[in-house]
Amino acid sequence: MADYVTAAQIELVNGTINTRIWADLDNNKNAITIAARITWAAELSTEYLNGRLSLSRYAVPFIAVPKMITHMCAILSGILLYDGRVIVTEMRDQVAPKRKEFRRLIRELLSGQLRLTHPTTGDPIECTSYTAPFVGTNPSENVGYKKYCISIPNCCHTCCCHSCICDKLNSWC
């Protein structure tokens, strides 16, 4: 599986100089080590988003990666690189706004407030996950929903768990 973000995209979101400084934990400007650390951050951010979205309305891994997912991976990659650097230099948290943005985006994505679009067509990506496919009212049509929400006591099982309000519980599933 390919990463959802490239080094160039990480640098575009976080700044080339920032990215390279944050990736250089040994302060020796070793290009190979810096590139390896940026690649590590891209891999980890991709894996993290796949993990977070595995029980959401979207099927992962993405074949055609939505631009929002690439953007979120770039933000998270910068945070991961920065956090390693903070251990070395103990700077104040310069990426606090990016942390806040990432948390907001992941919360909106999981709650259904933020919809992903196909990167080439611009069409909304339909809910395709087996574990929580979509909001529905007829349980016989939603065979995949039970796999996740059956474990939630008193859930109405007609909702897209993890992404909507459960009518029976009047709370987030």
Q: How many domains does the chain have?
A: 2
Distance CA 39, CA 45 (A): 10
140 and 90, same domain (yes or no): no
25 and 103, same domain (yes or no): yes
24 and 57, same domain (yes or no): yes
37 and 93, same domain (yes or no): yes
93 and 22, same domain (yes or no): yes
What global pTM score does this model have? 0.72
93 and 173, same domain (yes or no): no
User: Per-residue pLDDT tens for 23-79?
Assistant: 999 999 999 999 999 999 999 999 999 999 988 888 899 999 999 999 999 999 999
Which domain covers residue 169, as residue numbers? 130-173
Domain final residue pick, 84, 111, 138: 111
- Model confidence band, residue 91 (pLDDT cutoffs 50, 70, 90): low
Task: State yes or no: pLDDT of 135 exceeds 80.
Answer: no
88 and 154, same domain (yes or no): no
Cα 141 to Cα 106, 119, 124, 155, 160, distances in angstroms:
28, 29, 21, 17, 12
User: Per-residue pLDDT tens for 154-170?
Assistant: 554 444 444 444 444 44
* Residue 118 maps to a domain: no
Residues 6+ apart with CB under 8 A from 65: 4, 119
